[in-house]
Amino acid sequence: MPVTLADVARASGVNISTVSRALRGTYGVHRRTRQRVLEAAERLNYRPNRVARGLATGRSLTLGLIVSDIRNPYFAEVARGAEDAACRAGYDVVLCNSDLDPLKQMRYVRSLLEKRVDGLLMNSVADLDRPQQQELAGCGVPIVLLNATPGVQAFSTVTGDNVAGGRLAGAYLAGLGHRVIAHLSGTRRQANLAARARGFLKAMQAAPVTAAPVVIHGEHTYQGGYEMTRKLLDRHPKVTAVFAGNDAIAFGAIRAILEAGRSVPEDLSVVGFDNLELAAIIRPPLTTIHQPKYEMGQAAVEILLRQAGHSEPSAPEHHVLGVELVERQSCRRL
Amino acid sequence: MPVTLADVARASGVNISTVSRALRGTYGVHRRTRQRVLEAAERLNYRPNRVARGLATGRSLTLGLIVSDIRNPYFAEVARGAEDAACRAGYDVVLCNSDLDPLKQMRYVRSLLEKRVDGLLMNSVADLDRPQQQELAGCGVPIVLLNATPGVQAFSTVTGDNVAGGRLAGAYLAGLGHRVIAHLSGTRRQANLAARARGFLKAMQAAPVTAAPVVIHGEHTYQGGYEMTRKLLDRHPKVTAVFAGNDAIAFGAIRAILEAGRSVPEDLSVVGFDNLELAAIIRPPLTTIHQPKYEMGQAAVEILLRQAGHSEPSAPEHHVLGVELVERQSCRRL
DNA sequence: CTGAAAGCGCTAACAG
DNA sequence: CTGTTAGCGCTTTCAG
C-alpha cells in the first residue's frame, strides 16, 4: 500500500538507487535528475520506511530509556531532556518503566536490544547481580547510567555532584548558626544518597557543630521522610535543622513537623535535594540543592550519540554536573 | 557480529525456515528437531532481530505516544498506564513531547509513521488545521485521542467524563450551602475544560444559588489560577466557593487566597479537577474530581491494539471513563 | 514435517 | 553521474 522507492523510481524514470541517493543528498546526483526525483516523490507523497533502512544500515535511530517510574517528577524531567536531545539528532526514544525490579529491567534491556536500539539510558544498575551486569557490559551498544558512582562500572555515567551538594547543604546550615543538625537519608545501598550523606558529614567536620550529626536511614520517599521525621522529633528534640537526602523526603519531613505543631523554619530549618518543581510551590518554599535534571538527560543522550557511531566499544565517559543551593524560605538564621 | 537465524540453522543442521518456525512455535515442527533448534539457539545465545522481523511482517510492535510534556504529572500518569498496557502485549512505546506545537506534532507523527508504528496515541488535535487533520485521518494506522470530544473527529477517543465531573463539583458545593460560586476555567478552546464548565453550569441551574455563577477564563496552569483568583478576590468579594477547571489552577488559587490573608476552607472553599498526586499533599489537602489517568492510558492502548490487527481501518471507538469526587479538606459547609 | 526460494524496502559497493 | 547487483535477517508461500 505505501509508496516505495521503486514507485518513485518508476515515476521519475530512473533507477531506484538513484532515487535513494537523490533523496538523501549524499552522493553527487545531477541537478536535473534530482529535481525530477524530488518532484515525483513529492507528488506520490513518498515516505521512507525507516524499518527497511534500519535493516540495511544496521542503525535504528532509536534510543532506549529505562527509568524506574516516569511518574517520578525527577525522571520526567530527565526524560524530557533526553527526548529533546534525541529528537534534535533525529533519534527517538522508547520509554520503559522498570519499577527498579531487576528482572523487569533485564527484560526491557533484551527487548530493546532485539529492536536494535543504538544506545541505552538507564538508572543505576546497582541492584543487578554480577552476571546481569556482565550481560549488559557485553551487549554491544553504548550504555549510560544515571546516578551511578562514576568509574565503578564499565559503563558511562551522568550524575549530579552529590558529594558537593551534601557539603553545600551542611555548610549552609552551619553557616546559619545551627549546631545540632540531622540528616535524613535513604537506604544505605542508594549510592547517590550515600554520596550526599558523605558530603554532608564532611561539611559537619569542618563546622563548629557541638554534637555529632544525627543520621537517620529510611525510605527515600515522602512517606519515608514523614516517618523518619517523627522518629527524629521524638528522639532528638535538640535538633534545629535537618538536611533531607531528597525533596520527597523533605516534603514528608515538613509535613511531620507541622503536624507535630511546630513550624518551619521558626522551630526547625529544612533543606532538600533535587529542586523539584514542587519545591517552589509548597509552603514554606523549600530551600534545596538544585540538580540539573534536564541537562543530565541531555548530557546522557549526547554521550550515547557520540558513542553510537563507533563500532568498537568506546571508553566510558563520566559527567558529573554541578549542583547549587537554591535559597527559599525553609531555613532561618539561628 | 550478532548471531542470526542462519547461524542457528547451521548449528542445528536444519533449514533456516525450520528454525524460524521452531522458535516461534507457530507451525508443526517435529518435537525432536524443535528440541535441537532450541538448544542450539540457547547455546549460541540467539536474539531475534526485531527490525528484520518488522520488515518482513509489516508490524513493528511499537506504539507512538505524543503528549504535550511528559513533565506534566497528568501525562506522566497516562503514559505509565499506556506503557504498562503496551508492555503486557509485547509492544513498546516511543515517547514524544510536542509542547502543543502543531508543527512539532506533525513532525512527530510523520517520523513515527516512517518508523511504521502500529498505532498512535496523542492528546487532542484541536489545534491542528483541517489539512493536517486530514493527513492524520488518512495515515493508515489507528489513532486514539486523549481528552478530545468524542465523535467530533474521525478518531477514537478516550476521555474522562468532564461534564459529569463539572456537575459533581457544582452540586457538591451547592450541597454544602454555598450560594455564590465561581468557576476558574481555561481558554475557551480547551474542549475538556469547556465541558467541565458546562457540567458545572448545569449543576448551578439545578441548585438554589442566589447569584449567577462567575466564570473566569485564563491559562489553565498554576500561574493562571493564581492570576484568575486575584482578579476574583478583587472583583467578586461575595464568592464563598470556587471550582477550578483543574488541580493546577486550584493550587494557584489556594496560593492567591492565602497570600491575600484569607484562608481555605474557612473563608473560601475550593475544589479542583484531576486529582494529581500533589492534591493530597498540599495544605490544605484538596477536594477534587478524580480522573482515572492511568486507566485512560491503558484503555487507549487497548483500543490501539485491538485495531492494529485489522488492515481495514476500524470504526472509531469512544471511551468515556467515570470520574468521582474525592473529598478532602479544602471545602467547608456554610 | 521440512527445505527452497522469493520477497519486505532500503543501502552500498561496484561497474560503467 | 547512474545503473546493477547483492545483501540486511526474517517470514512465508510453495513444493516435496
Interval A48-100: pLDDT, tens? 999 999 999 999 999 999 999 999 999 999 999 999 999 999 999 999 999 98
A174-185 pLDDT, tens digit per residue, is: 999 999 999 999
Residues of A (59-98) whose Cβ lies below 8 Å from B: 60, 62, 65, 69-71, 73, 76-77, 79-80, 83-84, 87, 92-97
CA-based end-to-end distance of chain A: 74
B15 CA: nearest nucleotide by C1': C3
Q: What is the pLDDT of residue A22?
A: 85
B175-223 pLDDT, tens digit per residue, is: 999 999 999 998 888 889 999 999 999 999 998 877 788 999 999 999 9
CA distance A230 to A218: 12
CA-derived radius of gyration, chain B: 26
* Cell 529505562 belongs to residue: A66
Q: Is the pLDDT score of B26 beyond 70?
A: no
From the list A193, A278, A198, A202, the residue with the least C-alpha distance to A228 is A193
Residue A23 touches chain B, beta carbons under 8 Å: no
* H helix intervals, chain B: 5-12, 16-24, 31-44, 50-57, 73-88, 102-114, 130-137, 162-175, 191-206, 222-235, 247-259, 278-281, 293-308
**Helix, strand, coil distribution of chain B in percent, nearest 5:** 45, 15, 35
Quickly state the pLDDT bin for B102 (edges 50, 70, 90). very high
Residue whose Cα is closest to the C1' of D11: B56
Q: How far is the CA of A140 from the C1' of C1 (A)?
A: 37
> Considering chain B, what is the average pLDDT of its residues?
92
Contact A74, A272 (CB under 8 A): no
Q: What is the pLDDT of residue A309?
A: 76
Q: Residue A48's Cα: distance from chain center in Å?
A: 32
| Dihedral sign for Cα atoms in the order A170, A171, A177, A180 | positive
Strand D reaches within 7 A of the B205 CB? no
Strand D reaches within 7 A of the B30 CB? no
Grid coordinates given for B20: 524460524
Q: How far is the CA of A113 from the C1' of C2 (A)?
A: 30
Residue A278 touches chain B, beta carbons under 8 Å: yes
CA distance A245 to A250: 8
Q: Is the pLDDT score of B161 beyond 90?
A: yes
| Dihedral sign for Cα atoms in the order B2, B5, B8, B10 | negative
> Higher-confidence residue: A283 or B328?
B328
Contact B252, B229 (CB under 8 A): yes
Quickly state the pLDDT bin for A9 (edges 50, 70, 90). confident
Contacts (Cβ under 8 Å, ≥6 apart) of A93: A62, A63, A64, A65, A79, A82, A83, A86, A121, A301, B94, B95
Bases of chain C with protein Cβ within 7 A: 1-5, 7-13
Q: What is the pLDDT of residue A249?
A: 96
Per the DSSP assignment, residues forming a β-bridge with A185 are A217
Provide the shortest C-alpha distance from residue B216 to chain A (in Å).
Answer: 23
A105-151 pLDDT, tens digit per residue, is: 999 999 999 999 999 999 877 788 888 888 898 888 999 999 888 77
Reported residue count of chain A is 334
Q: What is the pLDDT of residue B210?
A: 73
Quickly state the pLDDT bin for A209 (edges 50, 70, 90). confident
Q: How far is the CA of A195 from the C1' of D11 (A)?
A: 52
| Dihedral sign for Cα atoms in the order A216, A221, A225, A228 | negative
Grid coordinates given for A77: 524531567
* Cell 529544612 belongs to residue: A270
* Nucleic strand D contacts from chain A, 58-87, CB < 7 Å: 58
Indicate the Cα dihedral angle A2, B107, B146, B116, nearest 10°: 30
Provide the shortest C-alpha distance from residue A207 to chain B (in Å).
Answer: 35
What percentage of residues in chain A have a pLDDT greater than 70? Answer: 99
Provide the shortest C-alpha distance from residue A211 to chain B (in Å).
Answer: 33
Contacts (Cβ under 8 Å, ≥6 apart) of A101: none
B236-254 pLDDT, tens digit per residue, is: 999 999 999 999 999 999 9
Q: Is the pLDDT score of B74 beyond 90?
A: yes
Per the DSSP assignment, residues forming a β-bridge with B181 are B241
CA distance B175 to A22: 70
- Three-state secondary-structure class, residue B246: coil
Grid coordinates given for B58: 509489516
Q: A95 vs B97: CB contact, 8 Å cut-off?
A: no
A19 CA: nearest nucleotide by C1': D2
Count of alpha carbons within 13 Å of B105, Cβ hemisphere only? 22
Contact A143, A136 (CB under 8 A): yes
Mean per-residue pLDDT for B320-334? Answer: 97
Q: What is the pLDDT of residue B104?
A: 94
Reported residue count of chain B is 334
Q: What is the pLDDT of residue A271?
A: 98
Residues near strand C (C-beta below 7 A) are A 2, 4-6, 16-17, 20, 23-24, 26, 48-49, 52-53, 55-57; B 13-18, 21, 27-30, 32-34, 52, 55-56, 58
Residue B191 touches chain A, beta carbons under 8 Å: no
> Higher-confidence residue: B114 or A1?
B114
Q: What is the pLDDT of residue A205?
A: 93
B214-217, strands of its sheet edge to edge: B214-217, B181-185, B241-244, B269-274, B287-290, B324-326
Q: Residue A291's Cα: distance from chain center in Å?
A: 10
Grid coordinates given for A255: 509535613
The helix/strand count (H/E) of chain B reads as 13, 12
Least confident interval from A98-107, A308-317, B20-29, B157-166:
B20-29
DSSP letter at B70 equals T
Contact A193, A250 (CB under 8 A): no
Q: What is the pLDDT of residue A26?
A: 63
> Considering chain A, what is the average pLDDT of its residues?
92
Contact A170, A243 (CB under 8 A): yes
Strand D reaches within 7 A of the B23 CB? yes
Could you count the other beta carbons within 10 Å of the beta carbon of residue B48?
A: 16
| CA-angle at A126, arms to A121 and A128, nearest 5° | 90
DSSP letter at A66 equals E
Grid coordinates given for A60: 535504528
Q: B113 vs A47: CB contact, 8 Å cut-off?
A: yes
Q: How far is the CA of A241 from the C1' of C10 (A)?
A: 64
Residue B140 touches chain A, beta carbons under 8 Å: yes
Where does A36-91 show beta strands of DSSP type E? 62-67
Q: Is the pLDDT score of A34 beyond 90?
A: no
Indicate the Cα dihedral angle A26, A31, A33, A35, nearest 10°: 90
**β-pair type (B92-97, A92-97):** antiparallel
Q: B94 vs A97: CB contact, 8 Å cut-off?
A: no
B271-321 pLDDT, tens digit per residue, is: 999 999 889 988 899 999 999 999 999 999 999 999 987 767 788 999 999
Q: A49 vs B116: CB contact, 8 Å cut-off?
A: yes
C-alpha distance from residue B14 to each of B21, B34, B36, B40, B55 (Å): 11, 10, 9, 11, 24
DSSP letter at B172 equals H
Q: B83 vs A62: CB contact, 8 Å cut-off?
A: no
